[in-house]
C-alpha cells in the first residue's frame, strides 16, 4: 500500500470517527487529532478564527457542547496530497446532527485540513471550514 493509501485508511478513518464524536458532543477524540506544536490555526465555520493549542481546545470544547445526535457522517475528500511531512485534504463533511437541542438536520461543511507528520503520526495543524453555500454558477447564463 502506498503512502496516500495508508493516510486514507489510518488518518482519515480516525479523523472521520473523531468528527462523528465531535458532532455527537464528545470533542476529546477530535482534539487528539490536532498537533500541540505551534503553529496551529483554525478558520471555523461558526466564525472562530484563532491560533494556538489553548484557543483551539477552547473552541472545540464549545463546538462539542453545541452538537448532538450525529448520524450518517461522511467525510468526502475531493483532493488529497502528501508532500514530505505535510499533507492536505479538501472536501466536505456531510452529516445529520442536532445543534443547541434543535431537531437534527442534514448539514454540509466544506473543509480544508493541513496535516504535519510528527513522530510518525499525522496531526492536524490547520482547519478551514465553512457552511456550503448554494452553487450559483449552476444557474448562471453561459458566457458569450
SS3 track for 116-143: EEECCEEEEEEEEEEECCCCHHHCCCCC
Across 106-128, average pLDDT: 97
Which structural domain range is residue 28 located in? Answer: 3-132
* Total of domains in the chain: 1
Look at residue 77 and tell me if it is in a domain.
yes
Look at residue 15 and tell me if it is in a domain.
yes
Across 36-48, average pLDDT: 91
Q: What is the CATH number of the domain that holds 52?
A: 3.10.450.50
Look at residue 138 and tell me if it is in a domain.
no
**Is the model's pLDDT at 125 over the cut of 90?**
yes
Among 42, 75, 40, 73, which residue's Cα sits nearest to residue 59? 42
Given pLDDT bands bounded at 50, 70 and 90, which one contains residue 7? very high
Across 18-29, average pLDDT: 94
Residue 46's pLDDT is 85
Residue 140's pLDDT is 66
| Beta bridge partners of residue 111, listed in sequence order | 91, 129
Look at residue 89 and tell me if it is in a domain.
yes
**Cα angle: 68, vertex 72, 76; to 5 degrees:** 115
Instruction: Supply the pTM of this predicted model.
Output: 0.90
Look at residue 140 and tell me if it is in a domain.
no
Amino acid at each position: 500500500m502506498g503512502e496516500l493509501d495508508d493516510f486514507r485508511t489510518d488518518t482519515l478513518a480516525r479523523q472521520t470517527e473523531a468528527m462523528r464524536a465531535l458532532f455527537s458532543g464528545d470533542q476529546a477524540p477530535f482534539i487528539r487529532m490536532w498537533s500541540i506544536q505551534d503553529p496551529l490555526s483554525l478558520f471555523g465555520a461558526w466564525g472562530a478564527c484563532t491560533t494556538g493549542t489553548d484557543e483551539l481546545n477552547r473552541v472545540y470544547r464549545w463546538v462539542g457542547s453545541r452538537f448532538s445526535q450525529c448520524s450518517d457522517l461522511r467525510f468526502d475528500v475531493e483532493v488529497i496530497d502528501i508532500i514530505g511531512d505535510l499533507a492536505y485534504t479538501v472536501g466536505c463533511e456531510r452529516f445529520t446532527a442536532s445543534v443547541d437541542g434543535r431537531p437534527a438536520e442534514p448539514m454540509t461543511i466544506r473543509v480544508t485540513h493541513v496535516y504535519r507528520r510528527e513522530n510518525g503520526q499525522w496531526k492536524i495543524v490547520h482547519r478551514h471550514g465553512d457552511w456550503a453555500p448554494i452553487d450559483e454558477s449552476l444557474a448562471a447564463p453561459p458566457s458569450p
